[in-house]
Amino acid sequence: MEPYAIYLISDSIGETAELVVRSALYQFETDNYQIRKYSYVQTTEEIESIIEKAALSENAMIFYTFVKREMAAHMKMLTEQKKLFSVDIYTPILNGLSQLFQMQPLEKPGINRQLDEEYFNRVEAIEFSVKYDDGRDPRGIEKADIVLIGVSRTSKTPLSIYLANKNLKVANIPLFPESKPPKELYQIPPERIIGLVNSPAKLNEVRKERLKSLGLPPSASYAGMERILEELEYADQIMKKIGCKKIDVSNKAIEETADHILHYMDALHIKRKQL
């Protein structure tokens, strides 16, 4: 038996039609079909040429995604004339959203491809935050959109990664009495620096859990209250010297702290640097 011919026709790359159709094909235990994909179909003449080819097959089915109504209408007219079974994937969705929003769609093919830039920027931001995590390289301070500073266990790293997913380049610097902060920290505008603060009790709790996960005794000085208070006092001195904003993270989820930082940036019109 001649394989069924499944035509995917689009005014863009056609990945939406392909994703939908291939997902549906999993529901059928057969491989007796051929997918014929036509991307970037921009004229009615191209549509007519493809339909002529499809009409030569007795077992053809057409799926199409056109954002321009005239192209979708032309496709519908031709498939009906040729008595070809076809499915218009986009038009019902666009019509529904048009009624919901009370506005007309842009009808710009491939506009979703513009989202690729945002995706790659996010990937670069995540790579940046990993590279400049935990003070590994102070050169990242001058390149960062936001620099997080604070003592150990103030959520600097998870917050950095979360903000990177919002396309922010984030560097984070740990503060502890035995090490002076990098000089670059005093060479950038203080509004680009966020000091993270945690309560002594919360730090004591999370540091004990950290030691436990490492197989170390909870009595180690790292989790001791005396050491914690010493670190917090030192960090507070540094933050005051810099003049940066401080955020208490002791009772905040990562998402809440991140949202606070984003609103802060918007309020001060702090622009994100180009990656």
Which residues does the annotation place in the binding site for ADP?
150-157
Chain-centre distance for alpha carbon 269: 22
C-alpha–C-alpha distance, residues 92 and 111, integer Å? 18
C-alpha–C-alpha distance, residues 163 and 89, integer Å? 35
Give the DSSP H/E element, type plus range, for residue 1: none
The per-residue DSSP string of 45-103 comes to HHHHHHHHHHHT-TTEEEEEE-SSHHHHHHHHHHHHHTT-EEEESSHHHHHHHHHHHTS
Angle between helices 254-267 and 156-164 (to 10 degrees): 60
Backbone angles phi, psi at 33, to 5 degrees: -155, 160
C-alpha–C-alpha distance, residues 117 and 120, integer Å? 5
* Residues making up the binding site: 150-157
Backbone angles phi, psi at 68, to 5 degrees: -85, 125
